[in-house]
Homo-oligomer: A and B are copies of this chain.
Amino acid sequence: MLNFEYYNPVRIVFGKDTIAELDRLIPPDVSVLMLYGGGSIKNNGVYNQVLAALGKRRVREFSGIEPNPLYETCLKAVEIIKQEKTGFLLAVGGGSVLDAAKFVATAALYTGIDSWDILAKGAEVKAAVPLGAVLTLPATGSEMNTNSVISRASSGEKLHFSSPCVYPQFSILDPETTFSLPVRQTINGIVDAYVHVFEQYMTFDVNASLQDRQAEAILLTLIEEGPKVLKNPNDYDARANVMWAATNALNGLIGCGVPQDWATHMIGHELTAFHGLDHAQSLAVVLPRLLTYCREQKKAKLLQYGQRIFGLKLTGGDECKTADAAVKATEEFFNSLGMKTRLSDYRIDAGDAAAKISSRLKERGTMLGERAELSPDDVSKILTGCA
């Protein structure tokens, strides 16, 4: 096991009718900027529940945060905060709204010249406006971590930053708010969480037995409970299990003391930036091909995964066949949810994607993977295989 430090002070308030707890969680005399996306929270009652809970606090709204939230949009919210001396940011929505709120929270207090440097140059984040969240879409884990991914329309870039300053003070997770999610977002969330686990689990082995089994606990839960929510969107327990699994997939715990990969995410971000794929779609396309490409490096864990998650047997001692079967079972699970896993399914030319993305990675000098040994040329080959 590798050395690690784990610190996660987010207060999770989980369950039915918990949005009303906002009144206890946010100071009574603070001015609140409420950030959200489109109209879904108005249709499913969340918007009204939030406003009722905030009571007589001064609330300013900022709506229109898009999927893959834009830097340009965030800057508008930053202006409001500066003008109104907002004391608390409340993100109401999914990972996009949370990620935007995190960036806005720190950009509003950024003392450098250009807040884009936080994303592009890793400029130090020293402070953030306090923030909290009401999560309505289980997927990214942003409700219980320090991560944020922001896109820039003007340059077509999608970049991330991370800082303990942007831990939400609390996140409210009411599974009932997810009953009305569109099927596509539900599927995306399950796949996103699944791949988050993979980035921290499907790496070279360091004898971190507990972390491996905690990761497998999430995978098994998603495999069991994911189909249930698709079959019956109002199944409370299944929704609750998927929601809590998605949070645990990226709250730092399963990443303790293990190597991490994140190549699938880095490649996927570029697919979204260049070709507009949903984040989870990009992951579902890249992951199976990346696993096949890196089969040798990841073989020990692929075999463990195949045996523990899908009950595969190491018949005849052919490890390569078993590893391949584990990859195939993963892709079949995604497909069974209704998630397509080929670039051609999304009418994207694999050669074109491979050329554009490997070229950008070359410019940046980026090497990917758990040992930083995947070159832009490797990425090109992986993407070509995604046809």
Does the CB pair A14–B256 fall under 8 Å? yes
- Contact A13-B5, Cβ < 8 Å, known A218-B210, A221-B209, A221-B213: yes
Taken together as a complex, chains A and B put the C-alpha atoms of A22 and B169 apart, in Å, by 26
Contact B7 A241, beta carbon cutoff 8 Å? no
Which of chain B's residues have a CB closer than 8 A to the CB of A214?
Answer: 214, 217, 248
B241 touching A208 by the CB < 8 A rule?
yes
Per-residue B-contact encoding for A8-33, CB less than 8 Å = 1, 0 else: 11111111101000000000000000
Asked if B9 and A15 sit within 8 Å, CB to CB, the answer is: no
What CA separation (Å) do A213 and B197 show in the bound complex? 15
Q: Is A9 touching B6 in the complex (CB atoms < 8 A)? A: no
Task: Known A210-B244, A244-B257; judge A5-B1 contact (CB<8 A).
Answer: no
B residues less than 8 Å from A5 (CB atoms): 11-14
Which B residues touch A18, using CB under 8 A?
A: 3
Q: Which residue of B lies closest to A7 (CB)?
A: B11
A237 at interface by CB-CB < 8 Å = yes
A2 at interface by CB-CB < 8 Å: yes
Asked if A216 is at the interface (CB within 8 A of a chain B CB), the reply is: yes
Question: Are A9 and B7 in contact, CB atoms less than 8 angstroms apart?
Answer: yes
The reply to whether A6 and B1 form a contact with Cβ atoms under 8 Å apart is no
User: How far does the alpha carbon of A257 sit from the alpha carbon of B247 in the complex, in Å?
Assistant: 14
A219 to B16, CA, bound (A): 30
CB distance from A14 to the nearest CB of B (A): 5
Shortest distance in angstroms between A340's beta carbon and chain B's nearest beta carbon?
A: 27
How close is A143's CB to chain B, nearest CB, in angstroms?
12
Q: Choose one: B3, B210, B224; the contact of A15 (CB below 8 Å).
A: B3
Contact residues in B for A10 (Cβ distance below 8 Å): 7
Q: For A175, give the chain B residue with the smallest CB separation.
A: B1
CA distance A6 to B157 in the complex (A): 36
Task: Assess the B256–A244 pair: CB atoms within 8 A.
Answer: yes
Residues of B with C-beta under 8 A to A8: 8-9
Q: Which residues of B contact A240 (CB under 8 A)?
A: 1, 207-208, 257
**How long is the Cα–Cα vector from A248 to B257 in the complex, in angstroms?**
14
A220 lies within 8 A of chain B by Cβ: yes
Known contacts A241-B209, A257-B240; decide if A4 and B15 are in contact (CB<8 Å). Answer: yes
Cβ of A245 under 8 Å from chain B: yes
Q: Does A225 sit at the interface, judged by CB under 8 A? A: yes
